Amino acid sequence: MSTDGGTRAWIEVRAAGLRRNLRTIRERIGPGPRMIPMVKADAYGLGVAGAVAALEPEDPWGYGVATVEEGRQLRTLGVTRPVLVFSPLPPGSYSAAVEDELTVCISDLEGLRRLQDAALRHGSTARFHLEVDTGMGRSGFDWRRTGEWRDAVAALASSGSLEWAGCLTHFHSADERHSAATHTQWERFTDAVSSLPTPDGLLVHACNSAAALRCPEYAADAVRPGIYLYGGSAGQGLPDPEAVARVRARVVFTREAPPGGTVGYGATHVAREWEEWATVGIGYGDGLPRRLGNRGEALVRGRRVPIVGRISMDVTVVDISGVDGVAHGDTVTFIGPDGGEEITVDEVAGWAETISYEILAGFTPRVPRVWVDEGDS
Ligand SMILES: *Cc1c(COP(=O)(O)O)cnc(C)c1O
């Protein structure tokens, strides 16, 4: 996929930046813990094929996804490493998980039974990790009631066709500074795990990007970084990630606007004096948040310019008054560096009153993802 003059909007993704962000986490946790990069939601919207190609040279232990379909996609790409499916499965998809040799994270006895049934039907052994809910509350066995499920899990796990390969939990506030909750969750988790009749060689893991960077002492046997790899901040006081995604689009029209001239639906921006506007070929139909209308910025020739008026489905207008030489076909940057300036994905998330994850995952299939790998420096 090239980005010649015919491409109206695209996301350029830098493989080397992704790898450097992974290495920042590696330096923090040391050489011991295994790396399970999260590539769910099409690698946080940036394209899973490109992400896997970028990450393979780092020799990760495995990959993390949310759904069985995402796991299958990795197998189709030729990934033979362990693939962990983290979200609870709908009842009908255990069979497909077994078929693709995915490792399923189990939240209850019913799930474990379904997995065993699927494995028996396939005549194979299904690997699972047991999730302990320590406060996230969306999935996992309850840490307060280990006595109620411990023996049943152990009995099922040793009754054939199942391999108990790991235990995990998930922190809810590791992105926050001085969060006592993370320590509390860790204690709940380790208490629960130590009371279980776990098999040898069990993989114990808990840390997302924020926890791996903030509490490397909880890295245990493996970490599961996501957002930081893709250039999103993991939280206050943590090292900034290197930019990975650059969201760009082309100027498709320019005009001089006289005083009183209006732009966009609702005519919410009115030129006070003569202004120069550039219409850029990206809109909310591409995933650029509509909330950026009249509050976000873009980079044109390395300078910050305001987005004026409401964002349309297909185009966005920026005020380029005072930026000389802007021409039809020029590139405008909405996320990422341009010249000496940079708009981070977290800055955009702030304007849109959301988080970097939602911004990245929100870009639509209309926008090509163009991976560039210039090697490591
Ligand atoms: C998404 C996810 C992660 C990664 O979290 P980040 O905040 O993106 O680093 C880790 N573990 C689980 C279970 C997840 O669902």
Distance CA 255, CA 315 (A): 14
Is 44 a known active-site residue? no
**Top mutation candidate among 38, 83, 131, 215 for ligand 1, by most atoms within 8 Å of CB:** 38
Neighbours of 125 (CB within 10 A): 14
Residue 298 host element (H or E): strand 297-300
Backbone torsions φ then ψ of 52, nearest 5 degrees: -65, -45
CA-angle at 65, arms to 62 and 71, nearest 5°: 80
**Top mutation candidate among 65, 86, 189, 238 for ligand 1, by most atoms within 8 Å of CB:** 86
Neighbours of 197 (CB within 10 A): 12
Distance CA 266, CA 309 (A): 8
| Ligand 1 mean position, distance from CA 212 (Å) | 11
Residue 159 CA, distance from chain mean position: 37
Q: How many residues does the chain have?
A: 377
State whether residue 126 is helix, strand or coil. strand
Mean pLDDT score across all residues of the chain: 97
Atom of ligand 1 nearest to the CA of 105: 13
- Burial status of residue 157 (CB atoms within 10 A of its CB: 0-12, 13-18, 19 or more): buried
What is the pLDDT tens value at each position of the chain, 377 positions in all?
456 778 999 999 999 999 999 999 999 999 999 999 999 999 999 999 999 999 999 999 999 999 999 999 999 999 999 999 999 999 999 999 999 999 999 999 999 999 999 999 999 999 999 999 999 999 999 999 999 999 999 999 999 999 999 999 999 999 999 889 999 999 999 999 999 999 999 999 999 999 999 999 999 999 999 999 999 999 999 999 999 999 999 999 999 999 999 999 999 999 999 999 999 999 999 999 999 999 999 999 999 999 999 999 999 999 999 999 999 999 999 999 999 999 999 999 999 999 999 999 999 999 999 999 988 86
**Given the residues 44, 265, 284, 357, the one annotated as active site:** 265
225 touches ligand 1 (CB under 6 Å): yes
- Burial status of residue 49 (CB atoms within 10 A of its CB: 0-12, 13-18, 19 or more): middle
Is 40 a known active-site residue? yes
| Ligand 1 mean position, distance from CA 4 (Å) | 35
| Ligand 1 mean position, distance from CA 39 (Å) | 9
Distance CA 208, CA 227 (A): 9
161 touches ligand 1 (CB under 6 Å): no
| Ligand 1 mean position, distance from CA 5 (Å) | 37
Question: DSSP readout, 300-340?
Answer: ETTEEEEB-S---SS-EEEE-TT-TT--TT-EEEEEEEETT
What integer pLDDT is reported at residue 151 of this predicted model? 97
* Mode of pairing for the β-strands spanning 63-65 and 34-35: unpaired
21 touches ligand 1 (CB under 6 Å): no
Distance CA 179, CA 251 (A): 45
Atom of ligand 1 nearest to the CA of 40: 1
Distance CA 298, CA 194 (A): 52
**Given the residues 40, 44, 228, 284, the one annotated as active site:** 40
Contact 100, 67 (CB under 8 A): no
Atom of ligand 1 nearest to the CA of 168: 13
Distance CA 331, CA 142 (A): 52
Contact 283, 318 (CB under 8 A): no
